Chains A and B, each alone.
Chain A
Amino acid sequence: MINSKRFYVFTGKGGVGKTTLSLSFAKYLQSQGKKVLFAALEPSPYLEIYKELSIEFFLLNLLDSTKIYLSKKLKSAVIATWILNTPFFKAMLNIVPGFSYLIFLGHLVDYLRKDPELIVVMDSPSSGYVQTMFESLETYKDIFKTGILVEDIVTMIQYIYQKEFLKVNICTIPTMMSMQEALELKEKLSNLNLEHQIDIYANNSLIANPLINEASELPTFLNKKKELEKEVLIQFQDKIKASLPHLTSLEYAQIVKDLAPYMAPFL
């Protein structure tokens, strides 16, 4: 049985293939006999894909997660519902964004605690999200100072930062600008004590596809693309954990399946 962590967060700038890679990683874990829960924010356009790939998923909905949390804390679902229905509270949730990320994290941590065999793979919406999510832990601990919420935040921090628990996988593509952004993001997250739990992966690489890499009769423009990619991969070679190949299937679910054998480096 492979050694894995408990909580994997996939992040990276928009359009690099976070969702594809996180889904593929979930399939890989399944193939290794692991129990996996795939988490993403509502609404998700991938419902059919989750089902087609037989991936168990959980869509985070702010109001639902908040209601569950408040019900627990105030020991009453009725009160929690009442609070949530006040425009004041709804506006507060919307206006104070880090708050909602805390609630999502809390909900996922709950699942992880209840089932020690479970692994959560989270597909985050964008780079900024993950940064704010982890920063919120410290920020709100500071702001709340006392009360039930702080106790929960402190417990959450201890739980998440324990050894071999969390891994942040930054996805990027082999272009200069994307790589630089990935490095900037890694640096920002390192400032939150996560340095040893972050790796960068280059997706959609022409060179990582052996047929394209070895082909001798490619059109000039594709050769140029390969060249540009090579420059980037060489310049950043010690910063990239692994490269994923460009694949040619026209079916999204098929690409996810085809990538699964490449996913071991994401552990």
Chain B
Amino acid sequence: MNPSSKQLEIFCGTGGVGKTTLSASRAVYLALKGKRVLLMTIDPAKRLKDILSLDESLSGEIQTIPKNFIKDRPNESFNLDALLVSPLKTLQKVILQDQGHTQVQNRILQILFRPNGGMNEIMSLLEVQYHLNSKKYDSIILDTPPGKHFIEFLESCDKIRSFFDQSFIEIFQFISEKGFKVDDFSTENENKGKNAKPIKKIFKKFLSTGIKKLLDYLEKVTGGSFIEEFLNAIGIIYKLKTPFLKTIEFQENLKDASFSNWYLVTSIEHDKMVGALDLKKSAQEFLHQDSFMVINKCLEGHWLEWEKNYSQIDKPQVQKILPELNPYLFDLKHSMLTREIKLKEYARKNFPYILEFKEVLSSSTHDQVMELVDQWGV
């Protein structure tokens, strides 16, 4: 259970499988080995903050995990930082670099850059790039939101790519050719009488009949002010085209096994067949040799330990695990183990590397993380 550490390690999987706890344990494990590690979560539920006792008000900013997190482990250096990614804060950083201010007043952008807004993946890739370039870290561990599977993560980048495609080029070229600044499209300025040319009039004058017709129809349904605000949003994003397109290029690195580890996490508690089939489909399009199928919350080890202990007890009590004498316990064990074994067999048939993690029975998430740290080392 010892994948070599890479610059980027990505944990994906459906919800509730323990990705966040596992990714935290991997980060702690590598930090204990002397690596400088950054643990990033783009999980809107911010589970990481509970696990590492992070301050939610500092989302978007790097927080250093204090050494007392590892309490009585002997260690000279322990360099672990954490980041709760806020897509909006990342956008503000980009706008600041580009335009010297951080105002995001456009409401469509505000919705879009909310944690559930759909820009999570690309904004975290932006953050990953940024922090890798800073050379401050040996390894960045990325905990992803409970999307269906990791391909969704990559597909989200396609959404952005299509946004910058042909049909928009016309509008963008128009914006830059006419020398319009983003401010010119601000509805606020319009209200103040400044540069009072309603955007849609401008667009309609110069755009092809196709787009004009489209906007006419849309306007009937959505109302004119939405179209204006939407075009305003496009204008702003277009100005940020360079960092976005760079990030899409950076995405290619994710397919390089020397650069990244992919962990596809699932757990025994789930209706695994359904989830595992999904994972297989997506994995085939993409698997590089360092992709690990991770099976979390395993109970097999617990059952085996129990059986071992039982076999050392004298006969009358051993008989208690026989189906005739304790049918319910037998049924329970059979059902739990069968699910688990089926999943593991399926995994072994379809993935080159499997990692198994035993379920940790503790109410303290700190203890859960530390016990998982020990399982990485085995």
Are the CB atoms of A217 and B163 closer together than 8 Å? no
Chain A contact residues: over half helix, strand or loop, or mixed? helix
Q: How far is the CA of A20 from the CA of B275 in the complex (A)?
A: 14
Out of A88, A139, A217, name the residue touching B111 (CB < 8 Å).
A139
How far apart are the CA atoms of A249 and B17 in the complex, in Å? 21
Question: A31 to nearest B CB, angstroms?
Answer: 23
| Partner among B162, B226, B277, B302 whose Cβ is within 8 Å of the Cβ of A219 | B302
Distance to closest chain B CB from A253 (angstroms): 11
Q: Judging by beta carbons under 8 Å apart, are B224 and A146 in contact? A: yes
Does any Cβ of A come within 8 Å of B108's Cβ? Answer: yes
Chain A neighbourhood of B219, CB < 8 A? 147
CA gap between A215 and B329 in the complex, in Å: 8
Chain A residue nearest in CB terms to B17: A15
Binds A, one of B65-73, B91-99, B114-122: B114-122
A144 and B225 in contact, given A74-B220, A87-B166, A128-B44 (Cβ under 8 angstroms):
yes
The residue from B44, B47, B111, B210 contacting A96, defined by CB atoms under 8 A apart: B111
Cβ B363 vs Cβ A252 within 8 A: no
Least distance between A170 CB and chain B CB atoms (Å): 13
Q: Once bound together, how far apart are the Cα atoms of A10 and B211, in whole Å?
A: 40
A144 & B306 in contact (Cβ 8 Å cutoff): no
A150 interface hit (Cβ, 8 Å)? yes
Given contacts A14-B16, A224-B361, A252-B271, contact A96 B116 (CB under 8 A): no
Residue contact B338 to A250, C-beta cutoff 8 Å:
yes
| Cβ A96 vs Cβ B112 within 8 A | yes
> CA of A142 to CA of B148 in the docked complex: distance in angstroms?
32
**A154 interface contact, C-beta 8 A:** no
Q: A13-B45, A88-B211, A144-B226 are in contact. Are A98 and B111 (CB under 8 A)?
A: yes
A217 vs B320: C-alpha distance in the bound complex, in angstroms?
8
| Given contacts A15-B15, A248-B332, A219 and B303 within 8 Å (CB-CB) | yes
Q: Give the number of A-B contacts (CB < 8 Å).
A: 168
From 230 to 267 in chain A, residues with beta carbon under 8 angstroms from any chain B beta carbon are 231-232, 248-250, 252
Q: In the complex the two chains form, is B111's CB within 8 Å of A45's CB?
A: no
Tell me if A128 and B116 are in contact (CB < 8 A).
yes
Establish whether residues A144 and B361, one from each chain, have CB atoms under 8 Å apart when the complex forms: no
Question: How close is A118's CB to chain B, nearest CB, in angstroms?
Answer: 27
Also in contact, A228 and B167, with CB within 8 A (given A46-B274, A147-B223, A248-B332): no
Interface size on A, residues (CB 8 A): 65
- The answer to the question of A145 belonging to the interface, with a C-beta cut-off of 8 Å to chain B, is yes
Grouping DSSP codes into helix (H, G, I), strand (E, B) and loop, the B interface class, with mixed when no group exceeds half, is helix
Q: Is the CB of B162 within 8 A of A149?
A: no
Contact flags (1/0) for B304-329 with A, using CB distance below 8 Å? 01100000000000001000001011
B261 touches A (CB below 8 Å): no
B124 at the binding interface (Cβ < 8 Å): no
From B162, B220, B270, B277, contact of A15 by CB (8 A)? B270
- A181 & B214 in contact (Cβ 8 Å cutoff): no
Contact B217 A74 (CB under 8 A): yes
B278 contacts chain A at the CB level, 8 A cutoff: yes
Q: Are B328 and A215 in contact (CB under 8 A)?
A: yes
Q: Which residues of the partner chain A approach B328 to less than 8 Å between Cβ atoms? A: 211-212, 215
Q: Which of A79, A147, A212 has the most CB of B within 10 A?
A: A147
Residue A97 contacts which of B111, B210, B274, B278 (CB distance < 8 angstroms)? B111
Assess whether B278 is in contact with A219, with CB atoms less than 8 Å apart.
Answer: no
**Are A91's CB and B162's CB within 8 A?**
yes
CB-based contact B118/A88 at 8 Å? no
Binds B, one of A161-169, A172-180, A194-202: A172-180
For the complex, what is the distance from the CA of A138 to the CA of B30, rounded to whole Å?
Answer: 45
Q: Which residues of B contact A142 (CB under 8 A)?
A: 107
**A157 an interface residue at 8 Å Cβ cutoff?**
no
A86, B167: Cβ atoms under 8 Å?
A: yes
Assess the B45–A16 pair: CB atoms within 8 A.
Answer: no
A14 touches B229 (CB 8 A): no
Q: Across the interface, do A126 and B146 meet the contact criterion of CB distance under 8 Å?
A: yes
Whether A221 contacts B306 by the Cβ 8 Å rule is yes
A70 touches B221 (CB 8 A): yes
Assembled-state Cα–Cα distance A228/B115 (Å): 31
Tell which of B108, B116, B162, B166 touches A132, judged by Cβ atoms closer than 8 Å. Answer: B116
A184–B219 Cα distance when bound, in Å, is 38
Residues of B contacting A252 with CB < 8 Å? 271, 274
- Would you call A143 and B226 a contact (CB within 8 A)? yes
Q: In the complex, how many angstroms separate the beta carbon of A49 from the nearest chain B beta carbon?
A: 9
Is A90's beta carbon under 8 Å from chain B? yes
Interface residues of B in 224-283 (CB under 8 A from A): 224-226, 229-230, 267, 269-271, 274, 277-278
Query: Quick check: is A4 within 8 A (CB to CB) of the other chain?
Result: no
Please indicate which of the listed interface residues A86, A92, A225 has the most CB atoms of chain B within 10 Å of its own CB. A92
Q: Let me know if A218 and B223 touch, CB within 8 A.
A: no
With A14-B146, A147-B222 known, 17 other A-B pairs at CB within 8 A are A14-B15, A15-B14, A20-B271, A45-B274, A74-B221, A79-B217, A87-B162, A87-B165, A87-B166, A89-B218, A128-B44, A128-B145, A145-B226, A181-B47, A204-B269, A221-B361, A250-B339
A-B contact pairs, 13 of them (CB 8 A): A14-B16, A86-B214, A88-B167, A92-B230, A95-B112, A97-B112, A144-B225, A145-B223, A145-B226, A149-B221, A173-B16, A228-B363, A231-B363
On A, residues with C-beta under 8 Å from B are 13-16, 20, 45-46, 70, 73-74, 79, 83, 86-92, 94-98, 126-129, 131-132, 139, 142-150, 173, 176-178, 180-181, 184, 204, 211-212, 215, 217-221, 224-225, 228, 231-232, 248-250, 252
